[in-house]
């Protein structure tokens, strides 16, 4: 866990020699590859790669790695993102009243199961302040009324900018973010929707599921886009239900799923294992 490594996420038009080029770069500079995963989207012929290497003896300083890749990037028309295993993702957690997802995210962060650093908890309600205190995380209240949304979002964004927030977790945050807000954190806002998307989009998905008489309910973690509940899916989980289950049972069983998919998605994101492409995700193991 405490390794000192660099991680490259690459997307590029597929061509012979791509893997060779990347591994050659790492080998020439004395990096030892720890993990390498690739995927080719055969319909669009796009090559995706995640490669992680030990930088203990790497000949290029961390701050110079990106510039040292510039030529390769141009030649192969790569999208490149670079991360370091020792740098945890600075994160803000948004929550309303329901606290099960917040509990799970806080607990697992504290136990180092998620590679994030929670800088703040932001809420439109008071209810979760005490929990934030227990975990010693700053808690910021931004109540939402009919007319103050734009102003509140502006202040939230400013706070997050000052804190250097890189990832937003919507842990059952019951407000719809404005398109302006979303623009600032593209593919960096993870929401949990309490249905097996694309089934039961919108409000009260458990109620919709209950009335339909489905035998399985689900939960979905996805990146937030302007299109409500339609952003790229990261993780989904399901559980069986039957006629004995009331709507309350659906909700209760669903809470376990919501926690699961949300923390799984956050873990993948913070390990830099997710690539987004045409509203779908590549999620490496």
**Shortest Cβ 4–a copy of itself spacing (Å):** 15
Catalytic residue among 24, 71, 104, 229: 229
Catalytic residue list contains 229: yes
Residue 180 or 248: the one with the smaller Cβ distance to a copy of itself is 248
Closer to a copy of itself by CB, 101 or 165: give it: 101
Which stretches of the chain bind a copy of itself, using CB under 8 A? 1, 16-20, 23-24, 26-27, 30-42, 100, 103, 107, 111, 113, 134, 196-200, 212-216, 218, 232-238, 242-244, 246, 248, 252, 256, 260, 279-283, 285
Nearer CB in complex with a copy of itself: 186/279: 279
- The CB-of-280 to a copy of itself minimum distance in angstroms stands at 3
Q: What is the DSSP string of the chain?
A: ----EEEEEEEEE--TTHHHHHHHHHHHTT-EEEEEEEEEETTTTEEEEEEEEE-TT-SS-HHHHHHHTHHHHHHHT-EEEEEETTSPEEEEEEE-S--HHHHHHHHHHHTTSS-EEEEEEEESSSTTHHHHHHTT--EEE----SS-HHHHHHHHHHHHHHHT--EEEESS--SPPPHHHHHTTTT-EEEEESSSTTTT-SS-HHHHHHHHT-SEEEEEEEE--SSTT-SPEEEEEEEE--TT--HHHHHHHHHHHHHHHHHHHHHHHHTT-EEEETTEEEE--
Compare residues 57 and 162 and give the one whose CB is closer to a copy of itself: 57
Nearest-approach distance from CB 232 to a copy of itself, in angstroms: 6
Catalytic residue set: 229
């Amino acid at each position: 866990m405490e390794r000192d490594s660099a991680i490259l996420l690459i997307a590029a038009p597929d061509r012979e020699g791509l893997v060779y080029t990347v591994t050659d770069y790492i080998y020439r500079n004395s990096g030892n590859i720890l993990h390498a995963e690739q995927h080719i989207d055969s319909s669009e012929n796009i090559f995706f790669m995640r490669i992680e290497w030990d930088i203990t003896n790497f000949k290029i300083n961390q701050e110079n790695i990106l510039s040292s890749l510039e030529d390769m990037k141009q030649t192969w028309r790569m999208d490149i993102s670079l991360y370091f295993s020792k740098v945890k993702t600075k994160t803000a957690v948004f929550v309303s009243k329901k606290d099960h997802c917040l509990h799970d995210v806080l607990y697992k962060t504290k136990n180092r199961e998620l590679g994030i650093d929670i800088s703040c908890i932001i809420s439109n309600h008071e209810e979760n302040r005490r929990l934030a205190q227990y975990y010693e995380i700053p808690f910021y209240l931004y109540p939402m009324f009919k007319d103050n949304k734009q102003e509140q979002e502006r202040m939230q964004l400013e706070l997050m900018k000052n804190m250097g927030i890189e990832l937003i977790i919507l842990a059952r945050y019951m407000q719809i973010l404005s398109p302006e807000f979303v623009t600032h954190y593209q593919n960096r806002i993870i929401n949990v929707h309490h249905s097996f998307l694309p089934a039961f989009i919108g409000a009260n998905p458990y109620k919709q599921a209950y009335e339909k008489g489905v035998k399985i309910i689900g939960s979905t973690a996805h990146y937030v886009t302007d299109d409500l509940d339609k952003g790229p899916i990261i993780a989904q989980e399901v559980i069986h239900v039957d006629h004995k289950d009331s709507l309350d049972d659906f909700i209760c069983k669903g809470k376990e799923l919501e926690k699961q998919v949300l923390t799984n998605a956050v873990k993948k994101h913070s390990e830099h294992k997710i690539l987004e492409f045409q509203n779908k995700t590549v999620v490496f193991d």
